[in-house]
Amino acid sequence: MTRPPRRSVLRGALAAGVVAGTLPLAGGLAACARTPEGPDELEAPLAAARADAARAAAGAGAFPELAARLGPVADARRAHADALAQEIRRARPDRTAVVDAPVAAPPAPAAAGEALGAVRDGLGTSRDAGRSLALTAPRYRAGLLASVAGSCGGLVETLA
């Protein structure tokens, strides 16, 4: 009885190991390729960032004495919205239409104090919602959410 050459046995074992090792990977990739149903969890923080930016810009435009305080808030919240939209587009290309939808302009504030209070309240709500969502989000998104929430907290303090 002749034995197969050792190299043939090793090649066969290597090939079997590669095939066996890639089967779970292929199943995992197929699972990752599935698109979840419904809205992305970042759509609410995105809408809040856009609303906060619009409110701050409206207040800065209506009351020049607030422009130095509310202009940077509008800029920061626009940057947050851009980062959140970029992550949604990356993870959920099927939600691009929602991400790119136009934002309604907020009503014009009647008084400077009202404008400042509305922006501060919106930022506080965004901070709290972002903090809560960061606790349950996947790790790669939790950092983004925590950063946005922390920034909102800092912005609230600067407007106090």
CA separation for the pair 147, 80 (Å, rounded):
9
25 within some domain:
no
The pTM score is 0.77
Q: Domain limits at 121?
A: 43-159
2 within some domain:
no
77 within some domain:
yes
7 within some domain:
no
CA separation for the pair 10, 16 (Å, rounded):
10
13 within some domain:
no
Closest among 147, 113, 114 to 45, alpha carbons compared: 147
Count of structural domains, the chain: 1
21 within some domain:
no
17 within some domain:
no
81-109 in b/e burial notation, b at 16+ Cβ within 10 A?
bebbbebbeebbeebeeebeeeeeebeeb
12 within some domain:
no
pLDDT tens per residue across all 160 residues of the chain: 566 666 655 565 544 444 444 444 444 444 455 667 889 999 999 999 999 999 999 999 999 999 999 999 999 999 999 999 999 999 999 999 989 998 888 888 899 999 999 999 999 999 999 999 999 999 989 999 999 999 999 999 999 8
Q: Which residues contact 58 (CB under 8 A, 6 or more apart)?
A: 105, 106, 108, 109, 115
